[in-house]
Amino acid sequence: MTDTQSPGGAPPAGAPSIEGRTVLADQDVSRALRRVAHEILEGNKGADGLVLLGIPTRGVALAHRLAALIKDVEGTEVPTGSLDITMHRDDLRKQPVRAVETTELPQGGIDGKVVILVDDVLFSGRTVRAALDSLADYGRPRIVRLAVLVDRGHRELPIRADYVGKNLPTAKTERVAVRLAEVDGHEEVRIGAPGRP
């Protein structure tokens, strides 16, 4: 979930890049993710008990990217899945009806695991709040941590990320767009002017 894209949620796959300036080019995205993968392993002292859950749409792609990076380092397959939070959002009535994305938990579930929630942009914190609620419906992880590619500030809830690819100071009205190769065909993070990207 890209908070910045509201209203309307994540842009459709293959969305055109926005006006404005690029803050991470494609090499930068890979580099940032590699660092995040290392930090996760350090924090957990290895890959034991880890589960990566991406928040659709781009969080899922990032979770799979992190899993691959961890495998490169540790040689271990980290169970990876997706967690849709549509039904837990607190702004359903402020926006058009959303398509519901899939939730796919890895075999073995999340009970007693160290769940890393993965999303592209951390903004108000509401998406993460919804994700924590949704997670509780599926089981009881031992620890839940949050990894994001971009933290752009302006939190509206007491939530912070454990692993951040890039801290990006923004004005509240500015728009941040993340583009990933798997979803969009190219890779970058841009800051756009207020209004339509």
Partner 1 sequence: MKHLLSIADLSRDEIGEIMDTAISMHDVQRRQVKKLPTLRGRTIINFFFEDSTRTRSSFEIAGKWMSADTINLTGKGTSVSKGESLRDTVKTVDAMGVDMMIVRHMASGAPAQIAQWTNCSIVNAGDGMHEHPSQALLDAYTLRSKLGDLDGKHIAIVGDLTHSRVLRSNLLCLRALGANVTLVAPPTLMPSGIGSWAATDSFEVSYDLDAVLPHVDAVMMLRVQRERMSGGYFPTAREYAVRYGLTARRLALMPRHAVITHPGPMNRGLEISADAADDAQSLVLDQVSAGVAVRMSILFHLLSGEGSSA
CB of 95 to partner 1, least distance (A): 6
Binding mask 67-86 for partner 1 (x = CB under 8 A): -----------------x--
**Residue 145, H or E segment:** strand 143-151
Q: Which is nearer to partner 1, 95 or 167 (CB)?
A: 95
Binding mask 100-139 for partner 1 (x = CB under 8 A): xxxx-----------------------------x--xxxx
Answer yes or no whether residue 92 interacts with partner 1 by CB under 8 A.
Answer: yes
The number of CA neighbours under 13 Å toward the Cβ of 93 is 1
Pair 81, 53: CB distance under 8 Å: yes
Pair 103, 86: CB distance under 8 Å: no
**What is the total count of residues that contact partner 1 (CB under 8 A)?**
20
Helix (H, G, I), strand (E, B) or coil at 77: coil
Answer yes or no whether residue 99 interacts with partner 1 by CB under 8 A.
Answer: yes
Could you tell me which stretch among 11-19, 38-46, 95-103, 178-186 binds partner 1 (CB under 8 A)? 95-103
CB of 41 to partner 1, least distance (A): 31
- Produce one character per residue of 79-115: b if its CB has 16 or more CB atoms within 10 Å, e if not: bbbbbbbbebbeeeeeeeeeeebebebbeeebeebbb
Name the site residues for partner 1 (rule: CB under 8 A): 84, 87-88, 92-103, 133, 136-139
